[in-house]
Amino acid sequence: MTTEEASDARTVPRFLLLSEVAGELNVSDSQVYHMVRSGELPAIKIGGRGQWRVERTQLERYIALKYEETAAWVRENPLSEA
């Protein structure tokens, strides 16, 4: 790991609050909560109050999956030339 990579690793948090995930995806906090509770977006509960956290790598995997799903949908549903 280079010094720059180590510096980046310290500045980018490993775990995100649901509100931070919502901000990154530009959706509401309640939408992210539903995605987590339904199992669509992997997350963990931590602490005595059971606060949800999403690991950044899981969020990036989720985004990549959504790109793949969207690309498949676009291929299967081409725009009709009207």
What domains does the chain contain, in order, with CATH numbers? 15-76 (1.10.1660)
Cα–Cα distance measured from residue 73 to residue 67, given in angstroms and rounded to the nearest whole number: 10
Cα–Cα distance measured from residue 80 to residue 82, given in angstroms and rounded to the nearest whole number: 6
Residue 57 is predicted with a pLDDT of: 98
pLDDT tens for each residue of 6-44? 656 668 899 999 999 999 999 999 999 999 999 999 999
